[in-house]
Amino acid sequence: MSDKAEIYLDNAATTKLDPSVLRRMVDVYTSNWGNTTGLHFAGKKAASFLESARSDIAKSLNVKPSELLFTSSATESINTVLRGIISTGELRKKHIILSAIEHPAVYKTCKYIERYGIELSIIPVNKQGIVNPSHIEEAIRPNTILVVIMLANNEIGTIQPIWEIGNICHENSVPFLVDAVQCLGKIPLEIEKCKIDFMALSGHKIHGPIGVGLLYIRSDQSISPLLIGGTQESGRRASSVNLPGIIGINEAIRLALNQQKAEQSRYNKFRELVANSVSSIPNAIINGDYVNGLKHILSISFENLDGELLAMHLNQKGIAVSTGSSCSSGNVKVSRILAACGMPDAWAKGTIRVSFGRFNTYDEIQFFSNVLPDSVKKVRKIS
């Protein structure tokens, strides 16, 4: 085994499971492994654990238990809404509004359902990646069936004016779907205040289990199921329920909300360290909205540098970050998000994303901040 440092700064991609979450899950695997639909003692015990987790989560999110659907991921939650909403109601040309910087779970699903005659309005963002709510209001038509806007972006951390957008949707009687995957335990979700009808969340971004998602469905909204079969989740999602995962996400949400304030102030200190390091590097910028954006995500662009080479160089030093571009067959494809923010290719190609989590320490961020300037210098020479 290598004794090289392992500094994981890719927490927006996924996070390490919290040991307390794992303990809860192991308990379920060992002593409460019944199928929640069973009519016997094992099934009854499992069903009661399931409903008690649903009630706990509902309390944490300030919603009703009946408004929560357990899924396998945020991607499934988003697909459930998008593919469910187009299959209900009258068969007329339907129209969906989304922003240009939605996650592929939204963006690609919307592009996919275009083949069923759905019309899309893709709302542009400004340089910081922020949607102007009045552009959404102008885009609403009599046949608009849904507005989808993420609460905060996973690549650049920009937070959207969800309160204004929610009110516009409400006044126009258009359902509003919010992807809040990067926000749980980071900023308040304010589901009621922002008049949100559907919200997608995920366990593995908050030191909870991978393969567990949540879908909030406001009680006056209904949705046709994506998975058809058994009667689980009141007929809204067939398939045997992942009880260990659900008990795990419940614990992960509890921890994330309890620690939210303290973690945010830690991440603020981390950001300052990295920002100081970036300011010492020529032709380097921090993308998005540094002041008001999510505290755990920093997208950094370096002009005339290959971001993948920089990520590989940092990996050799034991530091894991992600890039803002992808390379296939030698062609570098820049991020759709950075392009939507109007970033020139010469900068977008040289982008890395650094994202913090509960298990990062100040010393780790200091180490990263110290090695970054020299790494950029070396990689620029070979880019």
Distance of CA 351 to the CA centre of its chain: 19
Rounded CA-CA distance 215/58 in Å is 11
**Minimum CB distance to ligand PLP, residue 321 (Å):** 15
Which residues partner with 322 through β-bridges?
A: 353
**Minimum CB distance to ligand PLP, residue 96 (Å):** 17
Beta strands 213-217 and 284-286, pairing class: unpaired
**Minimum CB distance to ligand PLP, residue 174 (Å):** 21
Q: Is 179 in the site for ligand PLP (CB under 6 A)?
A: yes
**Minimum CB distance to ligand PLP, residue 210 (Å):** 7
Q: Which of 182, 277, 323, 369 binds ligand PLP (CB under 6 A)?
A: 182
**Minimum CB distance to ligand PLP, residue 353 (Å):** 11
Q: Which of 11, 15, 36, 75 binds ligand PLP (CB under 6 A)?
A: 75
351's tokens: 């982008």
**Minimum CB distance to ligand PLP, residue 3 (Å):** 31
Q: Is 202 in the site for ligand PLP (CB under 6 A)?
A: yes
Interface with ligand PLP by CB under 6 A: which range of 16-24, 61-69, 177-185, 224-232? 177-185
Q: Is 24 in the site for ligand PLP (CB under 6 A)?
A: no
54's tokens: 């649903």
Which residue number, 107 or 302, has a Cβ lying nearer to ligand PLP? Answer: 107
48's tokens: 């009661």
Rounded CA-CA distance 152/158 in Å is 5
Distances (CA, A) of 189 to 57, 114, 138, 236, 330: 13, 30, 26, 24, 41
Q: Is 80 in the site for ligand PLP (CB under 6 A)?
A: no
Interface with ligand PLP by CB under 6 A: which range of 87-95, 136-144, 175-183, 292-300? 175-183
Which residue number, 263 or 306, has a Cβ lying nearer to ligand PLP? Answer: 263
Q: Which of 129, 166, 175, 213 binds ligand PLP (CB under 6 A)?
A: 213
226's tokens: 């994506």
Q: Is 159 in the site for ligand PLP (CB under 6 A)?
A: no
Q: Which of 21, 53, 68, 74 binds ligand PLP (CB under 6 A)?
A: 74
- Mapped to the 3 state alphabet, what secondary structure does 194-233 carry? CCCCEEEEEHHHCCCCCCCEEEEECCCCCCCCCCCCCCCH
Of residues 350, 382, 339, 352, the one with CA closest to residue 283: 350
121 φ, ψ (degrees, to nearest 5): -115, 115
Are residues 82 and 106 in contact, defined by beta-carbon separation less than 8 angstroms? Answer: yes
What string marks each residue from 137 to 156 as x (binds ligand PLP by CB under 6 A) or -? Answer: -------------x---x--
**Minimum CB distance to ligand PLP, residue 105 (Å):** 4
Q: Burial of 357 by CB count in 10 Å (0-12 exposed, 13-18 middle, 19+ buried)?
A: buried
Which residue number, 74 or 149, has a Cβ lying nearer to ligand PLP? Answer: 74
Are residues 284 and 301 in contact, defined by beta-carbon separation less than 8 angstroms? Answer: yes
Task: Give the torsion through C-alpha atoms of 334, 340, 345, 349, to 10 deg.
Answer: -40
Q: How many residues does the chain have?
A: 383
Q: Is 133 in the site for ligand PLP (CB under 6 A)?
A: no
Q: For residue 131, what is the DSSP state?
A: B
Which residue number, 34 or 213, has a Cβ lying nearer to ligand PLP? Answer: 213
Are residues 67 and 218 in contact, defined by beta-carbon separation less than 8 angstroms? Answer: yes
Q: Is 209 in the site for ligand PLP (CB under 6 A)?
A: no
Which residue number, 182 or 360, has a Cβ lying nearer to ligand PLP? Answer: 182
Q: Is 73 in the site for ligand PLP (CB under 6 A)?
A: yes
Q: Is 325 in the site for ligand PLP (CB under 6 A)?
A: no
Q: Is 256 in the site for ligand PLP (CB under 6 A)?
A: no
Of residues 267, 260, 253, the one with CA closest to residue 209: 253
Active site residues: 327
Which residue number, 105 or 149, has a Cβ lying nearer to ligand PLP? Answer: 105
What string marks each residue from 85 to 104 as x (binds ligand PLP by CB under 6 A) or -? Answer: ------------------x-
Rounded CA-CA distance 181/154 in Å is 8
Q: State the CB neighbour count (10 A cutoff) for residue 3.
A: 6
Residues at the site binding ligand PLP, with contacts judged by CB under 6 A: 73-75, 103, 105, 150, 154, 179, 181-182, 202, 213
